[in-house]
Amino acid sequence: MTKPILVSGGCGFVGRHLTNRLLKNGSEITIVDDLSTGINPERWVSSQFSNKYTFYNMDFRDFLKKYGNEKKFSDVYHLAAIVGGRIKIEKDPIAVALDLSLDAEFFNWVTKSKPERVLYASSSAAYPINLQQEKKHVELNEENISFDGNLGTPDMTYGWAKLTGEYLSRLTSKYYDINIACIRPFSGYGEDQDESYPIPAITQRAVNHENPLVIWGDGKQGRDFVHIDDCIDAMILAIEKISDGSGINISSGTLTTFLEIAQILAEIAQYDPDIKSLVNMPQGVFARYGSNTLAKRILNWSPKVQLKDGLKLVYDHLYNKRSISQALNSV
């Protein structure tokens, strides 16, 4: 018998890829998303799976209040959150703080509904920002967040919310005997990601052969980029193998600057632009990259998609999308 699965925030970038993977694996999915940033499943779920999912277009908190006592789920993937690019995190921090409300109501529901397994999507933003500075940055590992010691200061309200969510995960697992896994994705990217995020934004400029090729910040800031397919692999493994509410990195262990990203994309696009840094735009912490030693040991996971190959996939997707648009406009 197919086990029912709930995916909150299932219409966002990560949610779409996770839902499609679960559907292909034969699962029946309940998707909840208010479509504030997500895309209606009618546009991205294959028609062959049209009878395998149910979609609720509503705030996840309202779903829990209205249907939470009626429905039972085997697995729950909690992705619902106020998300966005760096501008959203830095310029609208109180809106982002609504994640605290989402997570508090979610874990209260979990203690009563008692699904078999839960995956909580945390973030690398939960890590202390003092370990990510130009003069002092380290490869972040799971022990850098210790709820038994000094936690440090995470990244803005988004980081605080995710750190709090991880703490609630541990409490819920410990005191209510529920299997919970937490993941800390680093900079996930992929072909259909919104252009408020840096990889698709820079890639679109490269597709257009813009010169100069613009990047935000001074370009020396770096991130740990992981393709969405690898992220989904890790998520499914995490819910199977972690049960105590502890967090695990989804990372490559490689720091890549945005200057390097722009250079790779220019090479893929086969042109030689000047690269212009917009130092007045938000750039976040200087260096955020994470160890995947624990993921290798516990999940037997490491990224399969090399960065240049992943960027080529994004480039080809956006290039083809532009070509189709131009063809339609010329008719």
One DSSP character per residue, 79-104 reads -------HHHHHH-HHHHTHHHHHHH
Residue 253 banded pLDDT, cuts 50, 70, 90: very high
**Six token digits for residue 267:** 């090479």
25 inside domain: no
The reported pLDDT for the residue numbered 134 is 95
Give pLDDT, residue 128: 97
> Does residue 86 or residue 51 have the better pLDDT?
51
Give the pLDDT score at 1: 59
Mean pLDDT value across residues 157-169: 96
Structure confidence by residue, pLDDT tens digits, 180-199: 999 999 999 999 999 889 99
Range of the domain at 145: 81-326
Write the CATH number for 272.
3.40.50.720
Query: Is the pLDDT score of 312 beyond 60?
Result: yes
Look at residues 160, 117, 135 and name the one whose alpha carbon lies nearest to residue 27: 117
Does residue 326 register a pLDDT over 80?
Answer: no
The edge-to-edge listing of strands for the beta sheet with 256-257 is 256-257, 222-223, 287-288
Mean pLDDT score, 260-271: 98
If 0-12 CB within 10 Å is exposed, 13-18 middle and 19+ buried, where does residue 47 land?
exposed
**Band of the pLDDT at 86, cuts 50, 70, 90?**
confident
Q: Is the pTM of this model over 0.75?
A: yes
Cis peptide before 212 (omega within 30 of 0): yes
pLDDT for residue 87 is more than 80: no
Report how many domains make up the chain. 1
Rounded Cα–Cα distance for residues 158 and 122 (Å): 10
Q: How confident is the model at residue 84 (pLDDT cuts 50, 70, 90)?
A: low
Q: What percent of the chain has pLDDT over 90?
A: 86
Phi, psi of 216 (to 5 degrees): -85, 150
Q: Which helix (H) or strand (E) holds 76?
A: strand 75-78
For the stretch 280-294, pLDDT in tens is 888 889 999 999 999
Q: Is the pLDDT of residue 150 over 90?
A: no
Q: What is the pLDDT of residue 242?
A: 98
Q: Does residue 4 sit within a domain?
A: no
Residue 306 inside a domain? The answer is yes
Count, residues in the chain: 331
- pLDDT at res. 85: 66
Widest distance between CA atoms in the chain: 64
Domain membership flag for residue 87: yes
41 belongs to a structural domain: no
Instruction: Give alpha helix (H) positions in the chain.
Output: 13-24, 60-67, 86-91, 93-96, 98-113, 156-176, 198-207, 228-241, 258-269, 293-298, 307-330
Q: Summarize the chain as % helix, strand, coil (round to 5).
A: 45, 20, 35
In a domain, 51, yes or no: no
Residue 307 has pLDDT above 80, yes or no: yes
Question: If DSSP codes are grouped into helix, strand and coil, which group holds residue 311?
Answer: helix
Report yes or no on 287 lying in a domain.
yes
Lowest mean pLDDT of 41-55, 80-94, 230-244, name the range: 80-94
pLDDT higher than 70, residue 331: no
Q: For residue 114, is it left (φ>0), alpha (ψ between -120 and 50) or beta?
A: left
Q: What is the pLDDT of residues 226-247, one digit of tens each?
A: 999 999 999 999 999 999 999 9
**Cα–Cα distance for residue pair 127/159, rounded to 1 Å:** 7
In a domain, 278, yes or no: yes
Query: Rounded to whole angstroms, how far apart are CA atoms 223 and 196?
Result: 16
